[in-house]
Structure 1
Amino acid sequence: MISSNIVHASVTAAALVAACTAQAANLTTAQFTAPAAAAAADTTPWQIRLRGLNVITNDSGRVDGVPGSDLSFSNTVIPEFDISYFFNENIAAELILGTTYANVYGSGSISTLGEIGKTWLLPPTLTLQYHFTDFGTFRPYVGAGVNYTLFYNQSGKSARSLDVKNTFGVALQAGFDYMVDDHWGVNFDAKKIFLRPDFDANVGGTGVSGKAKLDPWLIGGGITYRF
């Protein structure tokens, strides 16, 4: 009888120890899993950036029918705002917004014209990006996309008038974010836009046309915020 009671007590004690051990393991797992899940759920697919941007144009172009004609353009520094949406941790779409201007100068055989005129540009650009996630807080990315540039508020100087046509372009991009925490980071970005609009102008009462090969580099840096 004593032996039977001892066996029964031992089995009961073992069951209680196993139950307590399992409960402790569940509590420990919950303690470590909950913060991780909360951290993963703490960000949304949306991200914004604000950059200072240096717009560096390619000085090239032509006036049709004028041998040796060439064009050059002014460079500018502007603010730029962009919005990104992450489909997953690697793939994102980015819409880039900003506006700038370009002074247009005659070069080559038409250098005597000096400043031909001025135009403002609104070049919204949409890129699809791949973000590398194997480097911790350092997050490089590459992208490619399409640009549509609208030219507005145009005026002639040595020319009586200047009309640069709206046009599509191709954009290539590379950059990185360095994240300070889950939401804030610093950003460096470089884009090349292949932009070659046609234009019409009136020079000394004569109508002329041609092509401006702007092909700008957009190089800048700023801050990143992930919602």
Structure 2
Amino acid sequence: MHKSLLSASLFALALAAPLAHAHDAGDIIVRAGAITVNPDADSSSVKVDQGPLAGADLGGKATMSSDTQLGLNFAYMLDSHWGIELLAASPFEHDVKLKGTALGAANGKLGSLKHLPPTLSVVYYPLDPKSAFQPYVGAGINYTWIYDEHVGSEASANGFSNFKAENSWGMAFQVGADYMLTDSVMINAQVRYIDIDTTATVENNAVAPGTRAKVDVDVDPFIYMVGLGYKF
């Protein structure tokens, strides 16, 4: 009798344990970890758009450095397969450099800028919701807020000032996976691609009064994040 009850209990636990891993409707998932933005920047040539030299093409390209910060995800499950997710992070800071321009003094580090990349996505989990391993794909929209642009000390000494970059709207795509360590705790890894386009401008009155140059930059970063999550 006792053996029968023990066997029945173990069988019930075996059936119940996988169910505890399920992402269900109404679940809230919070993830945090290290997130790296790696720009795959491709830019137009640098052109003078204001001042007596307007229309001059200085050639060259703009590049941006990578940065790693604290990343945060907040997800709400609509059912066991579909969810809505918001990406947030502490501010990223990138160095902006120019290379190959006809104006030699412009080459090198122009300055730096910060940005925040809030991204709202719909995510889909294709596997059985009882599985501890939950890969997913997602797509959504990103708004990149660029701020705190400033010219570097060397560029400033060469007459550059008033560095600005426009904010950006764009599509975002991701793949990722959760692995449930307990009923609530998970490890997570994800990769994103975000369409970020901006136009940057900088002034240089040392070249000629009223001179301003601009460059269009397709930032288009790949974003990598690893961390832990908790399901409420």
Q: Is the 8 A contact 2:23 2:81 kept in 1?
A: no
Q: Which has the higher contact order (CA 8 A, sep 6+)?
A: 2
Residue of structure 2 equivalent to 1:88? 79
SS in 1 for 2:201: strand
Could you list the per-position Cα deviations for residues 179-198 of structure 1 after superposition, in whole angstroms to 9, with x for gaps in the alignment?
Answer: 11210010010001110111
Partner Cα separation in structure 1 for residue 127 and residue 94 of structure 2: 38
State yes or no: 1:79 paired with 2:73.
no
Q: Flag the structure with higher helix content.
A: 1
State yes or no: 1:169 paired with 2:161.
no
Alignment root-mean-square deviation, CA? 2.8
For 1:67-146, what aligned pairs fall within 5 Å after superposition? 68-98=59-89, 99-109=91-101, 112-113=105-106, 114-134=108-128, 136-146=131-141
For 1:196-207, what aligned pairs fall within 5 Å after superposition? 196-203=197-204, 204=206, 206-207=211-212
Q: Is the 8 A contact 2:36 2:68 kept in 1?
A: yes
State yes or no: 1:155 paired with 2:150.
yes
**How many angstroms does 1:39 deviate by?**
5.1
SS in 1 for 2:197: coil
Task: Give the TM-score normalised by structure 2.
Answer: 0.77
Residue of structure 2 equivalent to 1:51? 33
Partner Cα separation in structure 2 for residue 163 and residue 42 of structure 1: 43
Percentage identity across aligned positions?
Answer: 26
Could you list the per-position Cα deviations for residues 127-154 of structure 1 after superposition, in whole angstroms to 9, with x for gaps in the alignment?
Answer: 1100122382111000011000111111
Query: Given residue 153 of structure 1, which amino acid in structure 2 is its aligned partner?
Result: D
Q: Is the 8 A contact 1:143 1:174 kept in 2?
A: yes
**How many angstroms does 1:51 deviate by?**
1.5
Bigger shift: residues 118-127 or 157-166: 157-166
Could you list the per-position Cα deviations for residues 49-106 of structure 1 after superposition, in whole angstroms to 9, with x for gaps in the alignment?
Answer: 0020121111321323525321111111111011000000110111000120111000
Partner Cα separation in structure 2 for residue 217 and residue 108 of structure 1: 25
Structure showing greater radius of gyration is: 1
SS in 2 for 1:132: coil
